[in-house]
Amino acid sequence: MDDMAVPGTAGLPVSGAGALSAALLGRSLESMTASAVVVDGDGRILAANTAALRLLRHDAAALVGQDSHDLLHRDEHGHALPRSRCLMRKALLTQGTVHGDAEWFARGDGTLIRLSWLVTPCAPGAATTGALALLYEQPQEAPPPGGAGYAAPLTELDRLSLLAETTTRLTSTLDADEALHRLAALTVPRLADWAVVDLLTERDEVRRVLVVEHKDGILIERSDLQGPMPPVPAESPMPLSRALRGAASTLAGPATYQGPPDSGIAVEQQRLFAVTGMHSAAIAPIRGLRDMLGALTLGRSQRRDAFTPADLPLLEDLTRRAGLALDNARLYQRQLKVAETMQRHLLPQLPVLPGLEMTSRYVPAPHASSVGGDWYDAFALAGHGHALVIGDVVGHDLDAAAGMAQVRNMLRAFAWSDPGAAPGTVVTRLDEAVMHIAEVPMATMILARIAPGDDGRWRLHWTNGGHPPPLLVTHDGRARYLDEAHGILLGTGLDRARPEAVTVLPPRSTLLLYTDGLVESPRHAIDDGLDRLRRHAASFAHRPLDAFCDSLLDEVRPRDNDDDVAMLALRTPGPAPA
């Protein structure tokens, strides 16, 4: 038999006996006026008739071969239904005939539909067991989830599931803003139509950092209701004031704030209830391990049912988890701030070289401790000229930053104590010291001396210890790497001479020293990054030096690189007038 496309099976070609069986299955389903879906023993959809496709707003290609439970079954809030709670799946596994009423299913257009169903065993193929599911709408469909009316009360299993999900979602981020947005998404519209978060700052000021509304099936952040808040009054009996002082959770409504306001916070609460239309709210404190952090307000405006005291224990469990997440996020941010401050202080102020422009950049690693072993340096030598340095100690953490400080200080001492020594000689001494004194596994670096010659043109004398080569860009847009003087990195224990090179820098040319974080990517070879840097640097040659560096960071640095970046750039003056 030739291959054939079977109705209701997404036009998938089958052949032989399988084609005959599939054809019979497709024709049988199409003869039914009810919406019918056939699944195999694992719950994968084998076929669906036209009525089912129309009801579920899917095409056959999107249904056939998919897991029916994962694709279609939802709870009343549109969330994936745990398999342990799925009666349809239980009927499939036990090969029983089971009827169910008023359960929610996801349609292809993203909406939900409440359907009754009947599942009964069938044999869709000669050696296949499965089930036939008939789906049909309720005579009078219930209001969609989140719409006006009464919300279905949470079962104990729902509560435990929500708390478990909250713990998982909030502890998987160290970004405080992200944690609060996740908290809002977990509670709205599952518990409320509005979520409001007020936080206490380190100066004990109050800021309304998040107001989220559920509208037309999506969450909308209301920035017009966010911003600074008046101070917390010490004796106010109003619910939010008490929550921000650490009192137990409580209920509130428009009537709570109808009287003369006793504080500025009460005025803001009056405005909040008036603008949002909330008729019922539950307010709970957010506590950290040692301090009060803020308060969470959940409000209902579209749903007619009000919060009750029975809802408060769940709310307090949620804010307890939110407090731990915010505590962790704040501690992490303090650590990053301390580490980055240390790193900034380790990096030098650049000297002023008459006739030369010079600038630098340091960008911390985005996903590590925000510090690392990359550094740049520039300092005057005791004799004639200045030293330029770019380097990278292996690692991007506090240990690497501490090692970088050791290497930088030793290098300065060696270069200053013998200003006439060639760069290769200085780096050789530094390498010996690194092996015996510094707690540094390995490092790469470039040490250069720059000084004007008798003809007024600037000369660069350098050695390269395993580092990406300097890039020289002329004013007319020609760029080349200074590949000469390339030796081995520091810390290997090998005794090899350090090569050196000298070049004259053309007028109005730009010299760029950089670390590998600017060009390296986990997905591409470093040669690709070097080529990208060369091409972009050539196109930016005419830009002011600061704009030149910023443009390279924006355009060249790989988005998937989690290393830090250091850059040192200088530009020579134009030719002397004739």
Angle at 314 between CA 308 and CA 316, to 5 degrees: 100
156-335: CATH topology: Beta-Lactamase (3.30.450)
551/546 Cα distance (integer angstroms): 9
Please answer whether residues 104 and 76 qualify as being in contact, where contact means their C-beta atoms are separated by less than 8 angstroms.
yes
Question: Tens digits of per-residue pLDDT, 208-229?
Answer: 999 999 988 888 999 999 999 9
Going from N- to C-terminal start, the domains of the chain cover: 4-137, 156-335, 347-571
Beta bridge partners of 376: 390
Please answer whether residues 344 and 360 qualify as being in contact, where contact means their C-beta atoms are separated by less than 8 angstroms.
no
Q: What Rg value do the Cα atoms of the chain yield, rounded?
A: 34
Instruction: Supply the angle between the helices 156-171 and 312-346 in degrees, to the nearest 10.
Output: 0
528 sits in the region (left: phi over 0; alpha: psi -120 to 50; else beta) called alpha
Q: How far is the CA of 73 from the CAs of 58, 83, 324, 480, in angstroms?
A: 14, 9, 33, 60
What residues have CB less than 8 Å from 438, skipping those under 6 apart? 403, 406, 407, 410
pLDDT for 343 equals: 61
pLDDT for 469 equals: 97
CATH of domain 347-571: 3.60.40.10
4-137: CATH topology: Beta-Lactamase (3.30.450)
307: DSSP letter: P
Sheet holding 98-106, edge to edge: 45-48, 35-40, 128-137, 112-125, 98-106, 73-74
Beta bridge partners of 251: 282
- The token pair at 176 is 């405080």
pLDDT for 125 equals: 64
Phi and psi at residue 343, to the nearest 5°: -60, -45
pLDDT for 192 equals: 93
pLDDT for 127 equals: 53
232/302 Cα distance (integer angstroms): 30
Domains 156-335 and 347-571 share a fold: no
Amino acid at 490: L
Exposure class string for 395-423: b at 16+ Cβ within 10 A, else e: bbbbbbbbbbbbbbebbeebbeeeeebbb
- The token pair at 519 is 């060009």
- CA torsion angle 156 161 167 169 (round to 10): -150
Question: Could you say which residues of the chain have pLDDT below 50?
Answer: 1-21, 140-149, 368-369
Beta bridge partners of 215: 218
Closest CA to 437 of 481, 388, 490, 383: 490
pLDDT for 260 equals: 85
pLDDT for 3 equals: 40
pLDDT for 397 equals: 64
Please answer whether residues 498 and 428 qualify as being in contact, where contact means their C-beta atoms are separated by less than 8 angstroms.
yes
- The token pair at 301 is 């405006």
Residue with tokens 């003369």: 260
